Amino acid sequence: MCGLLGLLTSDGSAATAVDLVSEASHCMRHRGPDEPGTWHDDDLVLGFNRLSIIDIEHSHQPLRWGPPEAPDRYALVFNGEIYNYLEIREELRRDYDAVFATEGDGEAIVAAFHHWGPDAVRRLRGMFAFAVWDTETRSIFLARDPFGIKPLFLATGPGGTAFGSEKKSLLELIGRLGLGDELDPRAIEHYTVLQYVPEPETLHSAIRRLESGCHATIRPGNAPQIQRYFTPRFGVRPVTDATRQKRYDEIAEVLSDSVAKHMRADVTVGSFLSGGIDSTAIAALAIRHNPDLITFTTGFERQGYSEVDVAAESAEAIGARHIVKVVGPGEFIDAIPKIVWYLDDPVADPALVPLYFVAAEARKHVKVVLSGEGADELFGGYTIYKEPLSLSAFDRLPTALRRLAGRLSDRIPEGTRGKSLLHRGSLTLEERYYGNARSFDDARLRAVLRDYRPEWTHTDVTAPIYAMSEGLDPVARMQHVDLFTWLRGDILVKADKMTMANSLELRVPFLDPEVFRVAETLPYDEKIAHGTTKYALRQALEQIVPAHVLHRKKLGFPVPIRHWLAGTEMFDWAHETIEHSQTDHILNKDAIVSMLNEHRDGVVDNSRRLWTLLMFMVWHGIFVERSIVPDITDHHYPVRL
């Protein structure tokens, strides 16, 4: 885990931008407090902040490598980890007589690119965002991992192209590129609906993201040439009674292998642990490789909003040392400006706040943690994936009758039982499902956005994704949508940003190409069956996960904002945030105050909608108004833990 930054100039003036890049890199010092570094030639400046995990004494970046005849041909900056780097290095030695000066995974990337070209990214098993500069061809190659675990932002203008791990660093460079800092109104509308900014957008028009599973080639003075190298494709490999147990064994075996490779580090590796099956499975497999494994969880004092007891029971069952962080509403509120600053763009998922605190606690003890992100998307874990079953009767109705059901639902009062079922049943899958987050419908959106554009809809984001999933069963299509939306827009953003805010590396063994190859072929009834979700995964983990967790309902890190926003804990803070926000030209603040009062009075639960708007207001105060200045200090951690 590290922070990278680069500026490829269009006029050969890189030497004049070294100090600028170095200063901009400091904005993400938290991503790599162990060692900063810069390198430049006439066209390119590279900046780097290293969090030393593998080959601590060497593998410095920016890293130079080349074949014997041109030993300094390439320069690399790399964020992430390649878990099969030992195997790649051995293959390159055997087949090409490749020579390495370090024991790290960075040289494996560059050597693989030298010998295999852009196809090298298909051979990498890991999480990554990297840039390789070829001093001979004068071109730079950027790549991002298949699922989007590691971020990479891009900005291209008359002055060249900047790229980096965090958007805030690029905001320091866009003036040099000849770009402005205008906001993107369509991205704002998408955020308000989805609760996150979908790739490749950001809230700043000048800055975009290289999408997951893509790579780009850039030459000075030219725009990036972007190609997709990985598209997840769910299919079905039939399961019979004779092969069923073999499939479960296959899942357990490939997940065990993934965890083993994710444990590779020259520092201590711990594990996050909630009360669910995903993180428990990862921790139970990890302790096989580290008997002194430490697990970490977080919760709240309010009853029903904590999995602390279940997680502690799980830790005891697998034999792990367990550490708990309990978060109160006061420290929760105090941390919000810092958290939003670290996020770059707002993500309206309250679970990222306890994640920030548990990451801070974990960093006192370890430098790397494992976690269970990705299991739901790969193995069918979200309850909403059962929806095609509950709505199957509507699928048999003529279109006219389905639309009639929709019109009937419009006449039913809000909160009446059956209203949502009628409404959703009247819609096709493509119309109704756009991921796990649904914050605002059209009527509410029109009420709060000053510049509401009905033509800017969620289908801007989902239509091309659905086109890729044509022919799959409904659950597989929903999984496919979530891989491109919710997973990389919310789940992985908060995982990366909240752990990196604390200079902690987070690894996600479920999001491994080999694990996906097993998960992608599961039929519908191995995901949603027998009244549960992730059926095949649960069967595969029977001998790994403690019994009290195996069939437990998913909860995660629940946050009591519904209660806090209505009570003394957060109501005043929310009201003051709305009152002082200078977003009147974007949001109808009177309508938002009314929403807050309705929520306090128990008229309707507006908590998620309010949270979405409040996070945007805090973000606007930090990055646009500059009226909110978070207290961001440089943390100093030991290189080894």
Q: For 444-473, what is each residue's pLDDT tens digit?
A: 999 999 999 989 988 899 999 999 999 999
Share of the chain above pLDDT 90, in %: 82
**435 labeled binding residue:** no
Asked if 72 contacts 25 with a C-beta cutoff of 8 angstroms, the reply is: no
**Beta bridge partners of residue 269, listed in sequence order:** 368
* 258 annotated as a binding-site residue: no
Among 365, 376, 381, 342, smallest CA distance to 271 is for: 365
Cα–Cα distance for residue pair 98/89, rounded to 1 Å? 8
DSSP string, 209-248: EPPTTEEEEE-TTS--EEEE------------TTTHHHHH
Distance of CA 418 to the CA centre of its chain: 34
Q: Contact 118/171 with Cβ under 8 angstroms?
A: no
**Of 19, 230, 268, which is closest to residue 126 (Cα–Cα)?**
230
Which CATH number does the domain 2-228 belong to among 3.10.450.230, 3.30.1330.10, 3.60.20.10, 3.40.50.2000?
Answer: 3.60.20.10
Instruction: Give residue 8's pLDDT band: very low, low, confident or very high (50, 70, 90).
Output: very high
- Residue range(s) of every CATH 3.60.20.10 domain in the chain: 2-228
Task: Determine the pLDDT at residue 637.
Answer: 72
Confidence tier at 382 by pLDDT (50, 70, 90) = very high
Residue 400 has pLDDT above 90, yes or no: no
Give backbone dihedrals phi and psi of 50, rounded to 5 degrees, phi first. Answer: -100, 135
The yes-or-no verdict on residue 616 having pLDDT over 70 is yes
Considering 1, 2, 28, 449, which one is annotated as catalytic? 2
* Residue 27 annotated among the catalytic residues of the structure: no
- Helices vs strands, H then E, count in the chain: 29, 17
pLDDT digit string, tens, across residues 261-291? 999 999 999 999 998 999 999 999 999 999 9
**Mean pLDDT lowest among 158-172, 412-426, 598-612:** 412-426
| Residue-wise pLDDT tens digits, 70-93 | 999 999 999 999 999 999 999 999
Residues of the chain with CATH 3.40.50.620: 244-381+484-550
Report the half-sphere exposure of 192 (CA within 13 A, side-chain side). 27
- Cα(410)–Cα(420) distance, integer angstroms: 10
Q: In a 10 Å sphere around its CB, with 0-12 CB exposed, 13-18 middle and 19+ buried, how is residue 95 labelled?
A: exposed
Amino acid at 559: V
Q: One-letter amino acid identity for 72?
A: D
Please indicate if the annotation marks 371 as binding a ligand: yes
Question: With bands split at pLDDT 50, 70 and 90, how would you rate the model's confidence at 557?
Answer: low
pLDDT at residue 639, rounded to an integer: 64
- Confidence label for 24 from pLDDT (cuts 50, 70 and 90): very high
Task: List pLDDT tens digits, range 308-335.
Answer: 889 999 999 999 999 999 999 999 999 9
- Look at residue 556 in the predicted model and tell me its pLDDT: 58
Q: What is the DSSP-derived secondary structure letter of residue 587?
A: B
Model confidence at 441, in pLDDT bands (50, 70, 90)? confident
Give tens-digit pLDDT for 40-69.
Answer: 999 999 999 999 999 898 999 999 999 999
Q: In what order do the strands lie in the sheet with 44-50?
A: 35-40, 44-50, 2-9, 160-164, 153-157, 208-209
Q: What is the pLDDT of residue 169?
A: 98
pLDDT of residue 297 exceeding 90, the answer is yes
Mean pLDDT value of segment 421-434: 88
Look at residue 555 and tell me whether its pLDDT is greater than 80: no
- Reference 286, options 267, 260, 311, 312; nearest CA is 260
Burial 202-216 (b: 16+ CB within 10 A, else e): bbbbbbbbbbbbbbb
Residue 378 has pLDDT above 70, yes or no: yes
- 244-381+484-550 fold: Rossmann fold (3.40.50)
Chain-centre distance of CA 416, in angstroms?
35
Q: In this model, does residue 600 exceed pLDDT 90? A: yes
572-593 average pLDDT score: 98
Please name the residue ranges forming H helices in 559-606: 561-566, 571-580, 589-600
CB 318 within 8 Å of CB 354:
no
Q: How high is the pLDDT of residue 635? A: 73
Would you call 402 exposed, middle or buried from its count of C-beta atoms within 10 A (0-12, 13-18, 19+)? Answer: middle
For residue 404, pLDDT over 80 is answered with yes
